[in-house]
Structure 1
Amino acid sequence: MKARILGCSGGIGGRHLRTTSILVNHDVLIDAGTGVADLSMAELAMIDHVFLTHTHLDHIAALPLMIDTVGDMRDKPLIVHGTEAVLQILRNHIFNWAVWPDFSEIPTAEAPFLQFRPLRVGQKIRLGELTVAAVPAEHTVPAVGYHLDSGAGSLVFTGDTTVNDRFWPVVNRIGNLRHLIIECAFSNREERLARISKHMCPDMLAAELMKLERDCEIHITHLKPGQIELTMGELATCIGDFKPHMLQTNVVLEF
């Protein structure tokens, strides 16, 4: 299977900076940040499932517009998966008729453009040959990461998270792990801010990766635009043995 990175930046401001979203094959999205806006209408209409890690704007910004754009081009609802806490935040604060129409009732409650589907950490959802499972994350709002398994290989995306001892036992049980996409939002000079906002900086990430017991490719995501070179330089110093890759828009990861 192929995971195409539509966006992986911790912000905007440059020609190629898009916020978090990953397109798996052609019909599954992991998060719906600003990178989704680069897809054509035909590509948007082919997406059947969106799995959300959490509800911060950089991870959901394109979702309301996407549904509005292609809802009437589809013959079935777009399924939005998330924990019950995540879905409740969407209902209360986004699809609430004040910020955006409630597309779970449009055009009718019986045949809506959008359907919310709750999931639990550890629950496995089978979509053809792809299995998706939520994994633990630790952030300032309810959050998860995702384990994507094709059978032949696995990709794990941490989502936004900080130090999290619940995460690593799950990852270490994945025998076919190929890719680990892990966040590092801040440089070491911003460690205090990283801890307050429940993100990572290089020194924190180095300590976390000592808990990894699997060989896999490490991909760094969610870098803040103004600190990319500084943060990647610090990562080269403290986790260079892991040969980390800076994730970039339009990279395709096979698993």
Structure 2
Amino acid sequence: MDISLSMLSDPEVMGMLAKGVAVTLRLFVGAFVCGFVIALLLSALNLIPSRLVRAVIALYVEYHRNVPTVVQIMVWYFGMPEILPKALRLWINQGNTEFSFALIALSLNVSAYYYEDIRSGIKAIAGTQVEAARSVGLGAMQALRYVVLPQAVRFAVPPIINRSLILFKDTSLAMVIGVTELTYQVKKIENATFQTFQIFVISTFIYLVISLTIAALGAQVARKYPASFKS
């Protein structure tokens, strides 16, 4: 078996790989940021003493945690355009539709997991801290913003790092709707060159390097912002 990696000297192959990595990272970073913001909003809403609000959030979380991610991507790409207003559908179709819907699906999916991580962090905070914040004049939202969420996020850092690594790997699922991320480009190269083993060795190495980089950055953040239990 020829295990030569000579294809790395081919400018066209390298260009396709570079494009795939760029799209993958854009998808990952976009979904990470959007998912985290959505998770913070859900965490804040969950503190509202309303059974209806909490039931809606619980349904949202259960859907995104129990339906396969690839199915969620396809629902957004194939299903949602059918129920959107025509004007909005035409506006979306003017851009990179595949990337946009993949970003939405991955953001919503990961937000459900981030929300659960942050909710666990909130439970780890002593109730006396909230009472103390209220006693010095902070309102409910101020206590949430300045006391509860900053500490909850610190407690949630380790599981958020793990989920972010899964999110990065899940970006490869976007190829099913034609997003030109790394796995999509690898399949194009494999179909054109028939060098299956070689191109998948290269793509495995790329995924491994990026995953280890994300893990290292996450570990650095965890060390810089360690969680501390206070009563």
Bin the TM-score by the shorter chain: under 0.3
The structure whose residues are more often helix, as a share, is: 2
Give the TM-score normalised by the residue count of structure 1.
Answer: 0.21
Larger RCO (CA under 8 A, 6+ residues apart): 2
Q: TM-score, normalised by structure 2?
A: 0.23
Which structure shows the higher strand fraction? 1
